[in-house]
Structure 1
């Protein structure tokens, strides 16, 4: 079906019942005294900014472009990860959402996945039955492991190599306590980061060490419907050496964080969910021109999997990740600096149980057949990046990256040999202010894989035009296009999952056989987009994006006949193929508004239509993907008596269940949070603060997730959190 560019994109946003309800509540919550309330400065209350995050500040655009030091001095968060250059929102080559510290605290969320509901175009799953809680942009979470988005923590890629590039485990890398902001680029960003940024990039920026000095302790307890329980704790220690107080050299600061998140009696799940993390950071001044940042950590995810009435029966899967990272920064002069980043990540999956079953091949009963999905993966990454300003209107960044990925799993590939893939990337991004109100962003990346031995290119060109300033609001128009790619993963090329008799080694059944599909082409996407950004630094920011995305050869999973196949109870197996080409057209918008002192609103809206058709069979065209509609609203209000309140609503329309073609119904979710800062003035508690908060999640009722046949539910729940810091 063909339809014109941006058809339907200009339709007005239909604000649903939940946003309207929250707006009404917000108006009622604001007492006259709220306007005179002072903003406490503490670990628990993030001051309301004088300007919205990412809004223009500093010199007027009509003046000469700001210097690098001007960027550092501006008290407004700058987006650092889109083009690898620090840029304001009106300079960025595309649309960006910034989830800042205040939004993180006020949301009541317990992980990053929930926060991504605030981002236009994102679909989110909280289920852990097959993979981990995950999120995807501009595509239904149709596969078990969504893998078309680049996910980073402090610039380090954290997608799971073992889980076919899934972002799920990486979203659990750090606790929310340690996150300063999350930068989400909504659109293909392969021109900066290569294949993994096929449908966007997310960079989680952790807090600076000086902002977390001292001790923080947190405990959370709660309960929900059907016996659900919440049991979390967190601890952080941070300090600085005497060298940090002097212009000398040495250790300038350090931070050690540990936390645990636990959910019990999740409806539809096969056991409790536990996420445990330890993260360490140390900053050093090596010379007057050199700085060194060292990071290391480990995360472990344990969760139940399986069903009582099907194979396999309930058992536990454990996913462990360990990493080390070193960032060396050298100043080469007033307008030039160098970054060298080296990181290494190890992954290990433990999932083993046994079952009894007749073989679909022989018909004989076999006992103690291993159900084993265990294995290991590791990756090493080296990045060299040079940033420079050529003249007041021209600056850029260029560099290279080498990455080695190694996967070993007899369970997934029916061989004990390692699959090793090396990637080499070269990139350059240039920002050129060729006229007073015009800015051009141009970038290109080339990437080569040792397995394909072919060069892939990802260019991007975007023009930003500051149209005018009306009544204190700056208007910027964007127009541009880009091309991106995603190489086929090792799992999509070589998956071979079979079940064997542990005594004889005889094949008893097959689940995956990639050789039957064997996708031969990398995925490609061509993007055209228009944007309109309106900013009034103190109270208002609005961003509209219209887009057309043409996707070619997207890898999809299919059923293929095979004797002994056990997929879906039929003589079939899963495999992967390059699917039909399709288009995605639509619009998305986000609004930030501070209409009165102490108040803040964030609204996100998306609507797009895809021409893709969903089918698990090569011979069937299947049904069309439903039109995607979603919206979210967050309202934050500072109250008298050191109190604050917030509300968070989310709605999504029809969607596709993961790893299925079944249609999932629309659902909505509403969360509320009330918090009070406790000032402790007695004796040795003097000068210390604590915060007590209560959060109600999903107050409008349980919602099904994961699959039609075996749904998991995010239950209504309430929990108390007590946080202490000094």
Structure 2
């Protein structure tokens, strides 16, 4: 077992630059200190399973790494598309500019059981109980790698990591200098401009990235989007033992929303404005003792227009007079409910300590999170609602011999939204390494997901023209309890040194219980029922997934992913006002999913890559039943050296280039052939 400090590389780089010698020599040492090979050796180092740096052969979970080479070869033009390259994951367009990412299916248009982080900062929204990819404000070129924990990671990251965790690691300011300009244009009248600039300021290194992106959406719905962002990332090492990292940014823009299960439903412009600030201090007390303190703040404001009389006449079929009277009593009524404001404050202390050299390491930490939300649509007169969460977490890594690693992790979490008090989420994993290149792993975990602010407080009432209650659509439920998942798994990982690749397989059973979902109760209103959130859904997943990546030649590498997920015993309690207990008959998760990516480097600095995706038939909640589909993407790239420090790269990207048009999530959300041209200038 090797212990690595997260701050060791930047400290080493700074120390190297401070040594006597020429500036060129220092820069060369600096580049070597932070090359991609440090992260992607024969067996990669990861941090996302336990928060402590480990080899994949020591981690208690299966982890997929999406590196910069994969990002470029995939031809993806947005981040959610990248997760099609992770076994067991489903990524989909809800409409042209609304995305969903889930693990093992069983989801709707707001996937809410995955923790998504950027450099450890959660971007999960308390208002919508999901991730809004439009307001993320992050370019693909800003990403160093993405670590995806396949399986519940609540013991490391808390409730939101119920089914898994995604940590997007951005490029260190120390890893690049100079400037980059990137242009992209193509289908749906897509126009994108991105720029990055890195420079040293005294003893610090800073990167600034800006971007503007817009498209017109599909021809049928004109569900386009427009947005711009500005991000700042800076790192400072005032001493050899301390590193300060600062990140900040903002985004604003709009994206049109709509349920595309019909051609006559409204398409609504939803504006967004967000900002964040993130400060982290890493202190290396000695080679075996490190402390990290982090704090961040997220803010998001979503705005949709109030409905008009013409809207109610067109989409609800109401007479104009009645529509005007209803709007007078319901002035905040909107045709899309993604409207409101949310803020999140998070403070955390983390301590990593090596107890015995090469044999035992302990990581523990304490965190506090405060969330607020308000919405005239989703919460109505409940005003500004709040949630407080405390978490105490830890992971003990023991290596009694060279061939054995035992990870024991847990998190105690309490939330003011849960009626059942604090919950303990434990995980245990034993790794056996018959040799240095392979490992067998057995693991078990039990984890809880606390109800979100929206799930507990959702409220929507419609008043008639006289001001009396006409319909209570949703009401709050302050008695919600946490969801629970119990996971058993057997894993195998093998590194192939001669082929610069690996094979990773996982056999699992997931028992998901007490899931929060809609529940209908009798009422005296017009439709005689009210929707309320209730712990009334359960299912079981049994399956197998694997990933194979090989590089049989210096100019050729390929990636193959496959997942078989059999979702059984899917039972949903629809409540006494509907059908009561209902067992799903259609597949809530695609039974088979697969993806493949092949990359070939050609003479004269040409590059060709092909990606193939297959998703089996599935019944999406809200989206309906979708048939299976195949999609093939192609990327042809060319790089031209313009000078010692100048490089021009061009790429032709064709998504679904065979033209196998298919419906994605909604019936009328058709994914056709799409073509893009991309130019990147480094100078």
In structure 2, the partner of 1:643 is: 606
Give the match's secondary structure for 2:381: coil
Q: Pick from 627, 635, 642: which aligns with 1:665? A: 627
Counterpart-to-counterpart distance in 2, 1:536 and 1:137: 27
- SS of 1:459's equivalent in the other structure is strand
User: CA-to-partner distance for each residue in 1:621-648, whole Å, 9 max, x for gaps?
Assistant: 1433425210000011111101111111
- Give 2:22's aligned residue: none
Which whole-Å deviations, capped at 9, do the CAs of 1:400-454 have from their partners, x for residues lacking one? Answer: 0000001111221121521111101001101110112111011111011134371
SS at match of 1:84: coil
Alignment pair present for 1:163 and 2:128? yes
Contact 2:480 2:533 in 1 (8 A): no
Structure 1 position 482 matched with structure 2 position 448: no
Aligned residue among 327, 330, 334 for 2:280: 327
* Pairing 1:389–2:339 present: no
Alpha-carbon shift at residue 720 of structure 1 (Å) = 0.7
Q: Secondary structure at the match of 2:196?
A: strand
Q: Take 1:624 and 1:618, find their aligned partners in 2: how far apart are those partners? A: 14
Tell me which of 668, 678, 681 is aligned to 1:721: 678
Tell me the alpha carbon deviations over residues 268-306 of structure 1, each in whole angstroms, 9 at most, x when there is no partner.
Answer: 544312242211111112333221111001123511234
* CA distance in structure 2 between the partners assigned to 1:583 and 1:154 by the alignment: 32
1:522 aligned residue? 482
Equivalent residues in 2 for 1:477-556, closer than 5 Å? 477-500=440-463, 507-515=469-477, 520-539=480-499, 540-556=501-517
Q: Residue 239 of structure 2 aligns with which residue?
A: 287
CA distance in 1, matches of 2:475, 2:626: 28
Alignment partners' CA distance in 2, 1:306 and 1:261: 20
How has the CA–CA distance of structure 1 residues 178 and 91 changed in structure 2, closer, same or farther, with 3 Å as cutoff? same
Residue 597 (structure 1) aligned with residue 550 (structure 2): no
Q: Distance in 1 between matches of 2:73 and 2:93?
A: 20
Supply the distance in 2 between the matched residues of 1:162 and 1:638 (Cα, whole angstroms).
45
Structure 2 Cα separation of the partners of residues 609 and 602 of structure 1: 24
Match of 2:154?
A: 190
1:298 aligns with 250
Residue 668 of structure 2 is aligned to residue 705 of structure 1 = no
Question: How many Å separate the matches in 2 of 1:523 and 1:544?
Answer: 27
Structure 2 distance, partners of 1:673, 1:311, is 36
Report if aligned partners of 1:635, 1:648 keep a CA contact under 8 Å in 2.
yes
Distance 1:277 1:715, change over 3 A: farther
- Quick one: structure 1 residues 679 and 281, their matched pair in 2 at CA, closer, same or farther if it must change by over 3 Å? same
Of residues 295, 303, 321, the one that matches 1:350 is 303
Structure 1 residues 70-121: Cα deviation after superposition (integer angstroms, max 9, x where no partner): xxxxxxx521121011111111101000000111111111111000000011
How far off is 1:319 after superposition?
Answer: 2.4
Q: Is 1:257 the equivalent of 2:209?
A: yes
- Secondary structure of the structure 2 residue equivalent to 1:140: coil
Aligned match of 2:639 = 677
Aligned partner (choices 106, 114, 118) of residue 85 of structure 2? 118
Structure 1 residues 400-419: aligned runs within 5 Å: 400-415=366-381, 417-419=383-385
Q: Say which of 157, 174, 190 aligns to 1:210.
A: 174
Distance 1:360 1:671, change over 3 A: closer
- Superposition deviation, residue 311 in structure 1: 8.5
Greater shift after overlay, 395-404 or 313-322? 313-322
Paired with 1:696 and 1:534, the residues of 2 have a C-alpha distance of: 33
For residue 53 of structure 1, what is the aligned residue in structure 2? 40
How far off its partner does 1:608 sit? 1.4
Contact 1:611 1:625 in 2 (8 A): no
Task: Note if contact 1:261-1:275 (Cα within 8 Å) is conserved in structure 2.
Answer: yes
Q: Which residue of 1 aligns with 2:20?
A: none
Asked if 1:95 is matched to 2:62, the reply is: yes
- The equivalent residue for 2:48 is 81
The answer on whether the counterparts of 1:52 and 1:537 sit within 8 Å (CA) in structure 2 is no
2:378 aligned with 1:421? no
Deviation at 1:706, TM superposition (A): 3.2
CA distance in 2, matches of 1:649, 1:275: 29
Q: Which runs of 5+ in 1 are unaligned?
A: 1-40, 42-46, 57-76, 245-251
Tell me: higher relative CO, structure 1 or 2? Use CA pairs within 8 A at least 6 residues apart. 1
Q: CA–CA distance in 2 between the matches of 1:536 and 1:48?
A: 21
- Give the equivalent residue in structure 2 for 1:64: none
CA distance in 1 between partners of 2:525 and 2:672 (Å): 39
Which stretch of structure 1 is more off in the superposition, 111-120 or 577-586? 577-586
Task: Judge which range, 696-705 or 503-512, deviates more.
Answer: 503-512
Q: Are 2:226 and 1:274 aligned?
A: yes
Q: How does 1:101-250 map to 2 (within 5 A)?
A: 101-128=68-95, 132-142=98-108, 144-164=109-129, 166-169=130-133, 172-223=136-187, 228-241=188-201, 243-244=202-203
SS in 1 for 2:560: strand
Q: Distance in 2 between matches of 1:659 and 1:559?
A: 16
**Change beyond 3 A, Cα 1:363–1:694:** closer
CA distance in 2, matches of 1:559, 1:447: 30
SS of 1:271 mapped into structure 2: coil
Please state how far the C-alpha of 1:724 moved relative to its aligned partner: 0.4
Distance 2:217 2:297 in 1: 36
Offset of 1:705 from its aligned partner? 2.2
Residue of 426, 451, 455 corresponding to 2:422 = 455
Q: Whole-Å Cα distance in 2 between the matches of residues 688 and 138 of structure 1?
A: 44
Residues 3-59 of structure 1, C-alpha deviations (whole Å, 9 max, x = no match): xxxxxxxxxxxxxxxxxxxxxxxxxxxxxxxxxxxxxx9xxxxx9987993633xxx
Distance 1:128 1:323, change over 3 A: farther
- Separation (CA, whole Å) in 2 of partners of 1:54 and 1:578: 45
| Superposition deviation, residue 168 in structure 1 | 3.4
Structure 2 residue matching 1:491: 3-state secondary structure: helix
Shift of 1:480: 1.2
Q: Rate the CA distance shift 1:557–1:495 in 2: closer, same or farther, 3 A.
A: same
> Structure 2: where are the runs of 5+ without partners?
1-27, 29-33
**CA distance in structure 1 between the partners assigned to 2:552 and 2:36 by the alignment:** 13
Alpha-carbon distance in 2 for matches of 1:361, 1:354? 13
Deviation digits for residues 513-544 of structure 1, max 9, x if unmatched?
Answer: 345xx663210011100011111134231011
